[in-house]
Structure formats: structure tokens, C-alpha cells
């Protein structure tokens, strides 16, 4: 039986291009959208009248993000949802800060890339940022929605042949730490139909029907701690996306 007392989940939505990640965040309850430097998709959507006008800010460096989260953790905030758009952009800010601090701005194999030391050090800073988000949640009861762009990468399979898999556009160390921290890791894509022609060549026929996968499969990474259905059919209407997701999380209970 699902609990009616679910409070402030930590959700990652890793989805293919054009799925509607930013739109989902914009229709979440009382959101504050934090856009990584250069990630201005929400501004474009708002300019086209496709999403509501909500508070947003472009975070241009790692220190600014930490300062904002510290302020919210100390003083509280008026938002019900914090949306980070997107994971790869914030990871870049973290890596840049670590490279400047620990390697004097040297991105070469004599600096940040030396034996992958930069990535190892960056994970520690990333975990401290996630801990700040947890402090904000504890202070305010605010849900955290972290958006991630998806790409296809070959998975090295120790039990058999290698295969392609949808993964997040970030370093494995960043992803592993973040996915472990999250309460739900959801993979968003579209229903696909494969058609085989007379030459036995298969081609995908793309659709517009959005879906979310909530459990892990060979082709993608997903999990949830809420006994959600394995597949969530997302509505065509953008304004109903969040309520559909929330119903799956809570089992329809308020």
C-alpha cells in the first residue's frame, strides 16, 4: 500500500531530446527553475507562450549555485519545487570550479585529466551540492526535480555481448552519485514502432506519445522508491504532465 505522506521527493528525469523535460518542470507546483549557464530552453518556451511564467535564474558559476542553496537552507524559500536544468550543465560548472581551484585551470593530462583526478575530486564537490539540496528539502519540504539530457552509449557487458544503452549526458562518476542519491530515476522517451521492409531493413517509426519508464532495464537506467507502475503514459497536454507523474508517485493519494 502506498503512503499518503510522501514528502519532497528527489526526482531525476533523464529523457531524449524534445521529450518535454523543461515543460514538465515549468508545470510543477510553484517551481523555481535554475538554469545552468547556457541552458536557456525554458526562456525560449516561455517566449513562445508554451509554458507558464515562473521564477527562473541562469546560474553562471558553481559558487553562485552553492550560495543560493545555502541561503535557501538557512532562510527557507517560497517554492514548492526546485528544478535544475540540466545535469550536464551543472556538472560543467562543477568541473570548471575544480579545475580552477585544484589544477590552476589546466584541463590537459597534466592537470584536470591526469589519471582522471579531476573527475574524482569533482564528485566530492558534487556530493556536497546534493547535501545542500537535502538541507533545503529538510528546511522547506521542497521537491527537487533534476533534468538530464539522454544519449546512447555502448554498455560494456561483463556477462555477455556489449549493447547500446540510453545514458545521461554526464560523466559516469557524476551520474552514479546522483542516481544513488535520488528517490526516483525516470527515463523519458516516445513510443516507437519498428517496421521491417522487403529487404529486411528495420526502421523506426517515431510517434508523439510520451512515456516514462520507472524501473531498470538493459536499455536504460531507472528506479523508484514509490511502487510506481513500470510505464507511465504521459498526457499530450503539457499542463497535465506533472499531475500525471505525481499521481504515479502517490498512488492517487493527496
Domain ranges of the chain: 10-250
**Statement: residue 253 has pLDDT above 90:** no
Grid cell 555477455 is found at 160
pLDDT in the model for residue 3: 44
Q: How do residues 166-207 score in pLDDT, each as one tens digit? A: 999 999 999 999 999 999 999 999 987 555 555 555 555 556
CA distance 19 to 149: 10
Other beta carbons less than 10 A from residue 18's beta carbon: 9
Rounded to an integer, the average pLDDT of 245-253 is 87
pLDDT tier at 157 (50, 70, 90 boundaries)? confident
Q: Among residues of the chain, what percentage have pLDDT more than 70?
A: 91
pLDDT of 252 reads 64
Asked if pLDDT for residue 4 goes beyond 60, the answer is no
**pLDDT average, residue stretch 52-56:** 98
Higher pLDDT, 201 or 44: 44
Look at 32 and 191; give whichever has higher pLDDT.
32
**What pTM, to 2 d.p., does this model score?**
0.91
For residue 89, count CB atoms less than 10 angstroms from its CB and return exposed for 0-12, middle for 13-18, buried for 19 or more: buried
Q: In the prediction, which pLDDT does 6 show?
A: 73
Fold of 10-250: Rossmann fold (3.40.50)
Confidence at 2, pLDDT banded by 50, 70, 90: very low
| pLDDT single digits (tens) 108-135 | 999 999 998 999 999 999 999 999 999 9
Q: How many residues does the chain have?
A: 254
Amino acid at each position: 500500500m502506498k503512503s499518503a505522506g510522501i514528502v519532497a521527493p528527489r526526482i531525476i528525469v533523464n529523457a531524449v531530446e524534445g521529450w518535454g523535460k523543461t515543460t514538465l518542470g515549468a508545470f510543477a507546483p510553484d517551481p523555481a527553475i535554475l538554469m545552468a549557464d547556457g541552458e536557456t530552453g525554458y526562456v525560449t518556451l516561455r517566449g513562445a507562450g508554451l509554458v507558464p511564467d515562473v521564477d527562473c535564474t541562469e546560474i553562471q558559476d558553481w559558487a553562485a549555485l552553492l550560495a543560493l542553496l545555502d541561503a535557501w537552507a538557512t532562510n527557507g524559500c517560497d517554492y514548492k519545487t526546485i528544478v535544475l536544468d540540466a545535469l550536464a550543465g551543472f556538472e560543467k560548472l562543477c568541473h570548471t570550479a575544480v579545475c580552477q581551484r585544484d589544477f590552476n585551470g589546466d584541463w590537459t593530462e597534466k592537470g584536470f585529466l591526469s589519471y582522471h583526478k579531476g573527475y574524482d575530486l569533482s564528485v566530492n564537490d558534487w556530493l556536497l551540492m546534493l547535501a545542500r539540496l537535502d538541507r533545503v528539502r529538510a528546511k522547506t519540504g521542497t521537491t527537487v526535480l533534476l533534468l538530464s539530457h539522454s544519449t546512447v552509449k555502448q554498455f560494456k557487458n561483463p556477462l555477455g555481448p556489449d549493447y547500446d544503452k540510453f545514458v545521461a549526458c554526464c560523466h559516469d562518476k557524476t551520474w552514479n552519485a546522483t542516481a544513488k542519491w535520488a528517490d526516483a530515476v525516470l527515463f523519458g522517451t516516445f513510443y516507437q514502432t519498428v517496421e521491417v521492409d522487403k529487404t529486411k531493413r528495420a526502421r523506426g517509426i517515431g510517434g508523439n506519445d510520451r512515456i516514462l519508464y520507472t524501473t531498470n532495464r538493459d536499455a536504460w537506467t531507472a528506479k523508484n522508491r514509490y511502487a510506481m507502475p513500470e510505464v507511465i503514459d504521459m498526457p499530450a497536454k503539457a499542463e497535465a504532465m506533472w499531475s500525471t507523474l505525481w499521481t504515479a508517485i502517490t498512488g492517487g493519494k493527496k
